Amino acid sequence: MILHIPHAGTNTLGRNIEQFDIDYLTDWRTDELFNCEFATKLVFPISRFVCDVERFPDEYEEMFKIGQGICYTKGTRDNDIEVIDKEGILKIYDKWHLDLILLMNETLCYFSKIVLVDCHSFPDKEGYPDFCIGTTEQTPKELVDLVQDFLTDYDVKINYPYSGSIIPDKFVGNANVFPIMIEVNKKLYLNNEDDFNKIKIVINQLLGVIAEYEDSFE
Ligand SMILES: [Zn+2]
């Protein structure tokens, strides 16, 4: 299993990013929240406001049109963000994706199937669930059912308010790679340490169930 954690980073590489933006849209502490002894964890250290590794290249990215492609030019309150050294940022982006592909290739040398878990959190809004599970065409239904069955104490929605899950182009259509996104509502874990510890255990157990599923193919 691979845990891909793209939005926990707060390093702005010295860029002038408003604290409000960082506070609101960083997936705070997801690097601590998602743990599994059977997984390799990839934590992107740079703030999404400088380099968002979850975005597609500009020409294919819907969010690019509103200033939030790989390099954000707009903050969360329509404030402008100055992009410095876009070329250098794109190199960081490419290197990250190459590293992910190499790790997946390597993992497939040892395991017949990989679950690629895209790990996020999101700010609460009216009508938003506790957990949002994102899927792609190659996410097995059994895997989604397992996750939903495990989280019966929570309000879980599939592909709402966010949809999809990261999958490098090279592995689209590869029947040995199962992408799934797990997004946690920040209200569940960010208010106090007790909540945080509780959700950390829930997620650890959930990832254990996913690891068992992955193992069942061996
Ligand atoms: Zn995120």
User: Cβ-count burial of 59 within 10 angstroms (0-12 exposed, 13-18 middle, 19+ buried)?
Assistant: exposed
Q: How far is the CA of 121 from the centre of ligand 1 (A)?
A: 6
194 pLDDT more than 90 = yes
Percent of the chain with pLDDT over 90: 100
At residue 163, the pLDDT reads 97
pTM equals: 0.97
Q: How far is the CA of 85 from the centre of ligand 1 (A)?
A: 23
Q: How far is the CA of 33 from the centre of ligand 1 (A)?
A: 13
Q: Which CATH superfamily is domain 2-215 in?
A: Zn-dependent exopeptidases (3.40.630.40)
At residue 146, the pLDDT reads 98
Q: How far is the CA of 145 from the centre of ligand 1 (A)?
A: 22
Q: How far is the CA of 218 from the centre of ligand 1 (A)?
A: 31
Each residue's pLDDT tens digit, 199-214: 999 999 999 999 999 9
Q: How far is the CA of 15 from the centre of ligand 1 (A)?
A: 20
Average pLDDT across the chain, whole number = 97
Cα three-residue angle 129-121-181, rounded to 5 degrees: 80
Q: How far is the CA of 181 from the centre of ligand 1 (A)?
A: 10
C-alpha–C-alpha distance, residues 72 and 81, integer Å: 7
Q: What is the DSSP string of the chain?
A: -EEEE-S---B-TT----HHHHHHHS-TTHHHH---TTSEEEE--B-TTT--TTSPPGGG-GGGGGTBSSSBSB-TTS-B-----HHHHHHHHHHHHHHHHHHHHHHHHH-S-EEEEEEEEE---TT--SEEEE--TTS-HHHHHHHHHHTTTS-EEES-SS------GGGTT-TTEEEEEEEEEGGGTSS-HHHHHHHHHHHHHHHHHHHHHHHTT-
User: 215: pLDDT confidence band, cut at 50, 70 and 90?
Assistant: very high
At residue 147, the pLDDT reads 98
Mean pLDDT for 76-89 is 96
Mean pLDDT for 56-67 is 95
User: 107: pLDDT confidence band, cut at 50, 70 and 90?
Assistant: very high
Each residue's pLDDT tens digit, 16-31: 999 999 999 999 999 9
Q: How far is the CA of 6 from the centre of ligand 1 (A)?
A: 6
Mean pLDDT for 49-56 is 97
Percent of the chain with pLDDT over 70: 100
Q: How far is the CA of 216 from the centre of ligand 1 (A)?
A: 29
218 pLDDT more than 90 = no
Q: How far is the CA of 28 from the centre of ligand 1 (A)?
A: 9
At residue 43, the pLDDT reads 98
Answer whether 61's CB lies under 8 Å from 152's CB.
Answer: no
